[in-house]
């Protein structure tokens, strides 16, 4: 992988390649896809478009993209999933066409709120990658109503599901992710931030036509990891679409992103800072990296001394999962004959295997109204079909400022034991906005325990940590994650311990 004797190398490429193999798993993971993208961006700077697509006023939507939706909501209603326990809410699943001429359609799963569904807000969840499924992670491993038992056949309830506080919509995007597809094969080679944002917008407008009761409902967008791009970009298009139409097409009220990729340079600097401050690398390794490495966007080569530090860091962390530095690893690709005892409070590192087995069952796909075109590949948590990602801005910070300036509620949270997009990266990125503090740093609480720490910038951007959580916060701290989203949706500050939450 690394040729010996090189004096100057593409350090970023080698670094990112070396950090891509932490968890033993037979299926691509969200975090591995993030590594692949960053590797591609740094390896092919000349061809890779890192310029933002949102710096121009462009027409993003026309009436021809609204397709007939009559009767489709009723067809999408899920009666019962195989192995499902009894429930007290309705759920839906199906396809929304986003480009009829290309035959491009996105799959969604929707869990209505368990109580007061007619008044609770609509919350969209997007996973990252890019190229990873919001059903695989968000719905089945994080904050959806169910988790999958180790036999890959049966489900159990998640008492901390986010549909306790909202109507939650999970979207597999872009086409080529999960059950979403295109009949135009070239679409899979033309994926990128711009098309993903445009398709997500068209999806939403059509979905709201299918579910008209949500057209005027308060709407929020949430996501994690590379959805640090997806969420603000979609918010931008919604704001732009409302402005062009001179009316509220989508009633967007706020965005929330976790362990989010928002600024490439500080993401990398913060990662090494986190390694050192959490005793994962030596003082000497840290010295070489800080003294000899240049993480600026313009850097393409690095000295052998920088490479020395990078190689030493890789050796030190190669046997742990940097996406949750204290979590056990999965050393099996199998399901179990009988389901193991399971609890949402003790996340199973082999959960990907169970979800993969469950969602590839024909009876499950039939119940979900999924894979109706009989795809020529298995459902995967992260896409093997998308073979290129063509545009990815180096920073999303201008979109966070735009959201703030348009009166949107903006929250950014960090699981504090994720080392891939760690709290140090996020804090450094937000500091680039040069905002003053409105509410100073304080601990927030869940049931008299510290759930994390938080503060609020002027302009009402809230930053919060989630104590004891890795990259996928609701997987590791489901109760704290539910408290976080509940306070976000209510527009209240996280509880400071003066009253029990």
CATH number at residue 224: 3.40.50.1820
User: Does residue 163 sit within a domain?
Assistant: yes
Report for 65-69, 132-136, 287-291: range of highest mean pLDDT = 132-136
List pLDDT tens digits, range 285-311: 999 999 988 888 777 777 788 888 888
How many structural domains compose the chain? 1
- Say how far residue 25 (Cα) sits from the centre of its chain: 19
Stretch 414-420: mean pLDDT: 96
Give the pLDDT confidence score for residue 161 in this predicted structure.
98
User: Does residue 258 sit within a domain?
Assistant: yes
The catalytic residue among 18, 418, 469, 475 is 418
CB atoms closer than 10 angstroms to residue 438? 13
Instruction: Give percent above pLDDT 70 in the chain.
Output: 87
User: Does residue 196 sit within a domain?
Assistant: yes
Among candidate residues 92, 93, 97, the one with its CA nearest the CA of residue 69? 97
User: Does residue 228 sit within a domain?
Assistant: yes
Give the pLDDT confidence score for residue 12 in this predicted structure.
46
List pLDDT tens digits, range 232-266: 999 999 999 999 989 999 999 999 999 999 998 89
| Minimum mean pLDDT range among 52-56, 241-245, 310-314, 462-466 | 52-56
The catalytic residue among 18, 225, 392, 475 is 225
List pLDDT tens digits, range 258-280: 999 999 889 989 999 999 999 99
User: Does residue 290 sit within a domain?
Assistant: no
| 3-state DSSP of 263-298 | EHHHHHHHHHHHHHHCCCCCHHHHHHHHHHCCCCCC
- Residues of the domain holding 364: 63-263+329-418+463-490
Structure tokens at 446: 């869940």
Which of the 8 DSSP states describes residue 49? B
Q: pTM of the entire structure?
A: 0.92
Among candidate residues 344, 374, 339, 343, the one with its CA nearest the CA of residue 360? 374
418 is catalytic: yes
User: Does residue 235 sit within a domain?
Assistant: yes
Give the pLDDT confidence score for residue 2 in this predicted structure.
29
CB 225 within 8 A of CB 471: yes
User: Does residue 187 sit within a domain?
Assistant: yes
User: Does residue 40 sit within a domain?
Assistant: no
pLDDT value at 48 more than 80: no
């Amino acid at each position: 992988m690394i040729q010996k004797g090189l004096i100057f190398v593409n350090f970023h490429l080698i670094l990112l390649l070396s950090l891509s193999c932490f968890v033993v798993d037979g299926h691509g993971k969200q975090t591995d896809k993030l590594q692949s993208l960053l590797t591609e961006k740094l390896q092919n700077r000349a061809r890779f478009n890192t310029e933002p697509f949102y710096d121009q006023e462009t027409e993003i939507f026309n009436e021809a993209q609204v397709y007939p939706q009559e009767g489709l909501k009723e067809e999408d209603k899920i009666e019962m999933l195989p192995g499902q326990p009894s429930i007290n809410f309705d759920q839906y699943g199906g396809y929304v066409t986003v480009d009829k001429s290309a035959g491009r359609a996105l799959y969604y799963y929707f869990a209505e709120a368990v109580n007061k569904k007619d008044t609770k807000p609509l919350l969209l969840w997007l996973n990252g990658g890019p190229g990873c499924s919001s059903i695989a992670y968000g719905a089945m491993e994080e904050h959806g109503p169910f988790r999958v038992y180790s036999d890959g056949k049966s489900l159990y309830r998640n008492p901390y599901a986010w549909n306790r506080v909202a109507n939650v919509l999970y979207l597999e995007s872009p086409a080529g992710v999960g059950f979403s597809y295109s009949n135009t094969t070239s679409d899979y080679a033309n994926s990128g931030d711009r098309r993903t944002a445009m398709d997500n917008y068209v999806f939403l407008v059509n979905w709201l036509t299918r579910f008209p009761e949500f057209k005027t409902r308060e709407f929020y967008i949430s996501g994690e990891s590379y959805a640090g791009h997806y969420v603000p970009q979609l918010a931008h298009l919604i704001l732009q679409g409302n402005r062009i139409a001179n009316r509220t097409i989508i009633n967007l009220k706020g965005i929330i992103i976790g362990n989010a990729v928002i600024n490439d340079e500080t993401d990398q600097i913060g990662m090494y800072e986190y390694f050192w401050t959490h005793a994962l690398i030596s003082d000497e390794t840290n010295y070489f990296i800080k003294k000899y490495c240049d993480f600026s966007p313009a850097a393409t080569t690095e000295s052998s001394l920088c490479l020395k530090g990078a190689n030493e860091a890789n050796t030190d962390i190669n046997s742990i999962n940097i996406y949750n530095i204290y979590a056990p690893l999965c050393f099996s690709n199998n399901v179990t004959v009988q389901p193991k005892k399971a609890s949402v409070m003790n996340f199973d590192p082999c959960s990907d295997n169970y979800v993969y087995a469950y969602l590839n069952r024909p009876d499950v796909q039939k119940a979900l109204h999924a894979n109706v075109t009989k795809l020529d590949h298995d459902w995967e948590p992260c896409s093997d079909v998308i073979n290129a990602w063509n545009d990815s801005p180096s920073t999303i910070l201008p979109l966070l400022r735009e959201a703030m300036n348009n009166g949107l509620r903006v929250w950014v949270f960090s699981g504090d034991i994720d080392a891939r997009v760690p709290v140090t990266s996020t804090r450094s990125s937000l500091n680039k906005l040069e905002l003053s503090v409105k509410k100073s740093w304080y601990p927030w609480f869940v049931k008299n325990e510290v759930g994390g720490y938080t503060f609020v910038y002027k302009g009402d951007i809230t930053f919060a940590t989630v104590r004891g959580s890795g990259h996928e916060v609701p997987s590791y701290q489901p109760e704290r994650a539910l408290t976080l989203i509940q306070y976000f949706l209510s527009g209240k500050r996280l509880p400071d311990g003066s009253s029990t939450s």
